[in-house]
């Protein structure tokens, strides 16, 4: 999301320029701490609550209405909405809600419902097909079974940075917070009708992909760029999109991209996570400006992030967080609560405090994984779980569902 994108421009408008820059991996600087958000959503059969292969029809209708910011995803039961380059989270809100409302209207007019979660509680991958796209076909060929079962849904947050060097410095400093961000978004406890015992099965499944998870340690932008050039030059990857780290630099956009999140249950929760992410970047950028030697990072943070990420995958907000190499631990919920309190003054400066405050008090925050389990315990019915999820999404848009799954 470099400054060349212009206000309101979507990622699709950058394709040609991005391809040209990818040859040299030049970092296109962003002006200010811009933000963009991508949300992967589930397409459901209205009567059964199961996943439905409706993406082709919905996208054709969106194209007929010249609706920008909507795109396909890997499976035909998935659809993605995305903002352009936004100056703050308020602008993200002003773009996401009208777009989601129109996509929802189109989907319901065609007999579908829309919901958000990291996985579908009982849907089976064998009943779905990938979206007809050359890149997706190539990915499926490369990944085999892992690709054919990739019914997982996330949120990606881009934050603009001025240089590749700072991008790596920020990533080195921010990997320690990946477990917090995952725990706060955790929303995929079920897989094909089974309680996995995990708060985020999506994150566990995503680890089966190559070049995924916590990124390797790089001391500077040159080292990271050399790594990318080797992968591109050897044709191990077709583009930088084939690097699936939880946080990664996107030189063609001038951003760092956070990919750690499960799709939460609502757009409101998504905005809270976006505000936390952007404020974390702003605070860390200030700290690195005061102490530039910290840009080189500490490989031990990557090592501990791997351990802490698994704890967040398993236990969500009930996870124990490893704070120091000596083994000091604390509750990730307590650590996240202190983090939000520490960041609120900076969020007030940037205008994002309204969204960050929506997460408080964290001690009483029920994340999506907990909500899904509570709904199933109360009803014992997958259909009623899905009905609650679709109603929550529809009500948030100011609409009532035409008919909830029964």
Domain boundaries, the chain: 3-396
CB atoms within 10 A of CB 28: 21
| pTM, to two decimals | 0.90
Residue 69 gets the label, from left (phi > 0), alpha (psi -120 to 50) or beta, of left
Spatial separation of the C-alpha atoms in residues 115 and 41, rounded to whole Å: 6
Spatial separation of the C-alpha atoms in residues 368 and 354, rounded to whole Å: 21
Architecture of domain 3-396: 2-Layer Sandwich (3.30)
Spatial separation of the C-alpha atoms in residues 141 and 119, rounded to whole Å: 22
Which pLDDT belongs to residue 127?
58
∠ CA 315-317-323, nearest 5°, is 90
Compute the half-sphere exposure of residue 281: CA atoms within 13 Å on the CB side of its CA: 27
* 167-202: b (≥16 Cβ within 10 Å) or e: bbbbbbbbbbbbbbbbbbbbbbbbbbeeebebbbbb
Segments of the chain scoring below 50 in pLDDT: 1-22, 400-406
Spatial separation of the C-alpha atoms in residues 177 and 280, rounded to whole Å: 9
Which pLDDT belongs to residue 133?
75
Spatial separation of the C-alpha atoms in residues 154 and 39, rounded to whole Å: 7
Which pLDDT belongs to residue 73?
83
pLDDT tens, position by position, 5-18: 333 334 444 444 44
In angstroms, the Cα distances linking 281 to 98, 159, 255 are: 27, 8, 11
Spatial separation of the C-alpha atoms in residues 299 and 303, rounded to whole Å: 7
């Amino acid at each position: 999301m470099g400054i060349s994108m212009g206000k309101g421009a979507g990622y699709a408008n950058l394709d040609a320029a991005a391809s040209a820059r990818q040859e040299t991996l030049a970092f296109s600087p962003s002006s200010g701490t811009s933000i963009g958000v991508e949300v992967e959503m589930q397409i459901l059969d209205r009567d059964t609550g199961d996943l439905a292969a409706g993406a082709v029809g919905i996208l054709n209708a969106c194209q007929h209405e010249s609706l920008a910011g909507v795109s396909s995803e890997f499976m035909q039961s998935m659809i993605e909405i995305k903002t352009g380059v936004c100056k703050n989270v308020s602008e993200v809100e002003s773009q996401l809600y009208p777009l989601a409302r129109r996509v929802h209207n189109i989907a319901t007019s065609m007999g579908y419902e829309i919901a958000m979660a990291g996985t579908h509680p009982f849907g089976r991958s064998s009943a779905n097909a990938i979206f007809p796209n050359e890149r997706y076909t190539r990915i499926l060929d490369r990944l085999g079974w892992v690709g054919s079962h990739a019914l997982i849904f996330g949120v990606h947050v881009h934050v603009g940075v001025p240089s590749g060097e700072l991008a790596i410095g920020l990533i080195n400093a921010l990997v320690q917070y990946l477990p917090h961000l995952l725990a706060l978004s955790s929303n995929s406890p079920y897989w094909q009708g089974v309680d996995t015992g995990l708060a985020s099965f999506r994150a566990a499944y995503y680890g089966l992909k190559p070049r995924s998870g916590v990124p390797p340690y790089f001391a500077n932008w040159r080292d990271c760029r050399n790594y990318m050039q080797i992968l591109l030059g050897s044709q191990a990857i077709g583009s930088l999109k084939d690097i699936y780290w939880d946080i990664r630099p996107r030189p063609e956009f001038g951003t760092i991209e956070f990919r750690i999140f499960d799709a939460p249950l609502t757009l409101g929760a998504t905005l809270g996570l976006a505000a936390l992410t952007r404020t974390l970047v702003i605070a860390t950028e200030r700290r690195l400006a005061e102490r530039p030697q910290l840009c080189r990072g500490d490989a031990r943070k990557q090592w501990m992030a791997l351990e802490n990420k698994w704890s967040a995958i398993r236990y969500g907000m009930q996870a124990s967080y490893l704070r120091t190499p000596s083994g000091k631990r604390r509750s990730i919920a307590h650590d996240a609560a202190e983090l939000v309190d520490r960041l609120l003054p900076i969020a007030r400066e940037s205008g994002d405090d309204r969204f960050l405050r929506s997460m408080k008090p964290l001690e009483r925050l029920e994340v999506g994984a907990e909500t899904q389990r509570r709904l199933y315990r109360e009803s014992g019915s997958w259909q009623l779980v899905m009905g609650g999820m679709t109603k929550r999404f529809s009500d948030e848009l100011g609409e009532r569902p035409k008919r909830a799954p029964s």
